[in-house]
Amino acid sequence: MLRNKIFISSILCAVMNPFSSVASVDKVGKYYGRIDGGFGQATTSQGVQSTSYKATSYSGTYSGRYSGIFSVFFGPGGIPTDIYDVTEQTSKATPKSFTLISIGAGYYLSNSTRAELIFTHFLDKTSVTKTSTYVNTRTNAVSKLVTAQGKRDRNVNNISLKVLQDIYSYDKASVFVSSGVGISSITTTYNTKYNYTSPISSSKYYGEIRHKHSKSDISASIGSGVSYDISENMAIELAYNFNYFGSSPKSAYFKKQLITAHAATLGFKLDM
């Protein structure tokens, strides 16, 4: 009878306190290393860059600063015949999925709380298309054409200090949440090719433009995941993180952008 009462009492305790964990090894004050790999999807606020201006076509051209009587009235360019409203716009590019890798070290503040210093690297590739719309203000004729195509490569290196907290543990498994702040180094490279004929002058334009810029910015992240101890000193972890890596400056193709990304990772944690 006493044995049955003890058994029933144990079940009631487990039901009344489901968030209790099975006794584990005391890890307070110990260090560990970790390595993770995964994939992500950038959610950059594209900030489509749009430029509008007026352009004038000419019926003829003249050499010299003041050659011909028409230059007195119209300047050395010739006789203007049509005025165009021109809008140049970078289409909203769709970022591709990217792979990432991270390595780091951590320290157990308690058996359920730990701090980590993590280095993360990934390369985000995005296609870029620039279109131009020409509206003849005299005839209302509209010409729309692709004036440039290319790609944008964004190389991101990030160092973050994270705090992770277990919110539920049972046996060898635990569920945790995380948050962190850090600093990102962002290098963006644009490689654009253009090949089109202007509706205004009928001139053909072609060539290639390549430029890049680098900057550093404050970063932040929040996330959650599941950890499972596969041995006394090693655990496997599956995690999701939403990351803010900073912003990139305005360019010829985009306005200032906030760089954010969703990322899913699978990694190993090894206690020292």
Longest dimension (CA), the chain: 120
Which residues are 160's β-sheet partners? 118, 182
| pLDDT tens series, the chain, 272 aa | 544 544 444 434 443 444 444 445 788 999 999 999 998 887 755 555 566 767 766 554 444 333 444 444 445 455 566 787 887 776 656 667 788 899 999 999 999 999 999 999 988 887 777 788 888 887 888 888 888 787 878 889 999 999 999 999 998 999 999 999 999 998 888 787 888 888 877 778 888 878 788 889 999 999 999 999 999 899 999 999 999 988 876 665 566 777 888 999 999 999 98
Segment holding 199, helix H or strand E: none
Tracing tokens 């900073």 back to the chain, one arrives at: 246
Q: Please count the other Cβ atoms lying within 10 Å of the Cβ belonging to residue 242.
A: 15
Residue 151's pLDDT is 80
Task: Specify the pLDDT at position 119.
Answer: 96
Average pLDDT, the chain: 78
Percent of the chain with pLDDT over 90: 35
- Are 235 and 244 in contact, with CB atoms under 8 Å apart? no
Write down the pTM of the prediction: 0.69
pLDDT, position 188: 82
Task: Note the pLDDT of residue 6.
Answer: 43
Contacts of 151 (CB under 8 A, 6+ apart): 125, 126, 127, 128, 190, 191
Q: What's the pLDDT at 129?
A: 79
Q: What confidence tens digit (pLDDT) does each residue in 121-174 have?
A: 988 887 777 788 888 887 888 888 888 787 878 889 999 999 999 999 998 999
Distance CA 94, CA 189 (A): 16
> To 10 degrees, the CA torsion angle through 261, 264, 266, 272?
50
pLDDT at 179: 96
What's residue 44's pLDDT? 59
Query: Per-residue pLDDT tens for 1-25?
Result: 544 544 444 434 443 444 444 445 7
Give the pLDDT score at 180: 96
DSSP letter string over 165-229?
EEEEEETTEEEEEEEEEEEEEEEEEEEEEEEEE-TTT--EEEEEEEEEEEEEEEEEEEEEEEEEE
Q: Assess contact for 216 and 183: CB atoms under 8 A.
A: yes
CB 33 within 8 A of CB 270: yes
C-alpha span between 94 and 131 (Å, rounded): 16
